[in-house]
Chain A
Amino acid sequence: MDSDEPIVFAIDDDASMREALARLFRSIGMRASMFSSAEEFLKFKRPDAPAALVLDVRLPGLSGLELQRELNGSGIPIIYITGHGDIPMSVEAMKAGAVEFLTKPFRDQVLLDAISVAIKRDRENRKERAEVAECRARYELLTQREREVLSHVVEGLMNKQIAAKLGTSEFTVKIHRKGVMQKMKAGSVAELVRMAQKLELPSLKH
């Protein structure tokens, strides 16, 4: 699995359109996979690479918008193509986070630009997700006490205050705090706060 070579997925029930898109992607040397239905796409095991999804709005079975809802967790950027200039539908699609909504017929450059935007977005998303996953993995290493200390540190409390809250000595807090910084690989408190934000720790909310 070539992990960083981007890939385009296209779902269209029209065989002729699939063939044309495949030919276009081939002409610019872009990795692409074609599907005739949303179900087929969901069954497919996607490679771990930055990707964009070109999706026909009207599909037999699961529709494009339904698929988008289904996929929202995975966050793959979607470019809609449609044979209808259906405004309410395009609004709904854009609200749900589509990159672009193209009506057939469209020029290749418009589609390719949208695809490159989508892939860039996916690459960032993937990076973001990887960072979050990394943070979470580090966070998992903390002890219960260290996690408590962490949440109070990011709240902006002084060691003394934390010690009072936890009912322990300032010295112990200092030791825990050092452990937290090391395990989280944070160079400063500001960095620790950013990490905590990424992790969306529940303690931050109250």
Chain B
Amino acid sequence: MSTSSGKVFRDQVFSNYLVAVIVVWLAVLITLCLGPALKHTLTFFFCAVMVSSWYGGLWPGLLTAFLSILALDFYFIPPLYSLGIAVAELPDMLAFSATALFISWLNSDQRKVKSSLRQARDELDANIRERTADLNRANLQLQSEIAERRVAEEGLLQAQNELARIARITTMGELAASIAHELNQPLGSIVVNGDACLRWLEGTPPNLEEARQAVEAIIRDGTRASDVLVRTRKLVRRDEGTRESLDVNAVIQEVVVWTNDKLQRSGTQLRLKLQEDLPPVIADRVQLQQVILNLVMNAIEAMLEVSPEARTLWIRTERQVFGDLLVQVADSGSGIDPKHSRQIFEPFYTTKTNGIGMGLTISRSIIEAHGGRLWIGKADGGSTLCFILPIKRERPRG
């Protein structure tokens, strides 16, 4: 870079002085051609000095001025074609010299300012280019980081979904007795109805009306049993997190069916206080079921320490002033030790002998992924877990 710029600089200096010589020659030629038509002989030489000093700076300007003086003296000032000078012409020549010098100085000064301005501008340009490049680089890096983060987030989400599914299966394991009961109930009716149907058919004469009713009951119970299986499969399936418009009350009712058996076995009274005409929420049905199921199971287990008569479970829903939907699951157990109220949301924290300690952690992350919040509410005796879900405000992802 330095050699090429040095060469450019040398070429520039050379051309500056070349211009100085050329303009003087041009001035001489034009002045000679115009001859007496020209009023002032000096005019074009002033021009020459101006052009040269403007183009080449101080020194080419001075050279032009010097050459001009020589040319003027030689061609136009008597005695013509000699370098001698008449005394009468001296003031003119001195004035010309002074003016030429001043012009050269003025022009070169302006040129300096201009060039320093240009330099400043060039530097600025270079700076801007550099900064832009820096910014671009940073931008690229940021984008790649964002992409990386997105991948990580997706991985996290996947892991979270998988964990939620495992927790769900664990819960389902706990509910296995309940599922068996749910299935055996209709199966029991089917078998009894089938036997009764055979007996009505074997009678003499066969009672077809009774037999028909029995078969109809069998069909009804068969459908009931298959509903149980559909519900079970839904709860265990590997879900992709599909959001749909849901009636929270209906979801709660569904979950309650699952826990009926556990409620009955523990002698727990269930009190539902579901506000009617709630607007729908946008949520993942299975995940929401899971959260409610988890809170209900926790509540039931929390009450095992108190006597059966004192076991009551409340589930309440209501619309909040700010447009959110509040769900509360409260129990009449011994309550949550305030010392543990923060820990219970931590992974693998459990007070149960056979718990994995992920229930509340997962529940909270599910609710937060839905743009809601899950927390321990205030309760006089027992404990209350609350969560809110936003109404109609769909989150972009999660």
Contacts and interface: CB of A to CB of B under 8 A. Distances in A.
Contacts of A86: 177
A104 B184 contact: yes
B313 interface: no
A66 to B, nearest CB: 10
B171 interface: no
A16 B185 CA distance: 9
B213 interface: yes
Categorize the interface residue count of chain B: 20 to 34
Given A26-B210, A27-B199, A60-B264, A20 B193 contact: yes
Interface residues of A, number: 28
Contact of A16 (B183, B224, B265, B267): B224
A138 interface: no
Contacts of B177: 84, 86
Contact of A23 (B184, B217, B267): B217
A58 interface: yes
B185 A104 contact: yes
B94 interface: no
Contacts of B187: 104-105
A133 interface: no
Contacts of B210: 23, 26-27
A83 B196 contact: no
B230 to A, nearest CB: 18
Contacts of A17: 185, 188-189, 192
A83 B185 contact: yes
Contacts of A63: 264, 267
B220 A83 contact: no
Contact of A28 (B182, B199, B220, B224): B199
Contact of A20 (B200, B217, B261, B267): B217
B180 A84 contact: yes
A16 B217 contact: yes
A195 interface: no
B267 to A, nearest CB: 8
Given A16-B220, A58-B261, A107 B181 contact: no
B190 interface: yes
Contacts of B195: 24, 107-109
Contacts of A106: 188, 191-192
B197 to A, nearest CB: 8
Nearest to A59: B264
Interface string B207-224: 100100110010011001
B61 interface: no
Contacts of B183: 83
Contact of B184 (A26, A59, A105): A105
Contact of B189 (A14, A28, A84, A109): A14
A19 interface: yes
Contact of B188 (A60, A105, A109): A105
A119 interface: no
Contacts of B203: 27
B199 A58 contact: no
B186 interface: yes
Contacts of A55: none
Contacts of B261: 58, 84
Given A83-B180, A84-B181, A19 B264 contact: no
B264 A58 contact: yes
Given A16-B220, A23-B196, A27-B199, A83 B181 contact: yes
Interface in B15-54: none
Contacts of A103: 184
Interface string A118-142: 0000000000000000000000000
Interface in B247-279: 261, 264-265, 267
Given A24-B196, A104-B191, 18 more contacts: A17-B185, A20-B192, A20-B217, A23-B193, A23-B217, A24-B193, A27-B203, A58-B261, A60-B264, A84-B177, A84-B180, A103-B184, A104-B188, A106-B192, A107-B195, A108-B192, A108-B196, A109-B195
22 contacts: A16-B221, A16-B224, A17-B188, A20-B214, A21-B192, A23-B192, A23-B196, A24-B195, A27-B203, A27-B210, A58-B265, A60-B264, A63-B267, A84-B180, A84-B261, A85-B180, A104-B184, A104-B187, A104-B188, A105-B184, A108-B196, A108-B199
Q: What 7 A-B pairs are tightest by C-beta distance, nearest first?
A: A104-B188, A108-B195, A83-B184, A105-B191, A27-B199, A83-B181, A20-B192
Interface of B: 177, 180-193, 195-196, 199-200, 203, 207, 210, 213-214, 217, 220-221, 224, 261, 264-265, 267
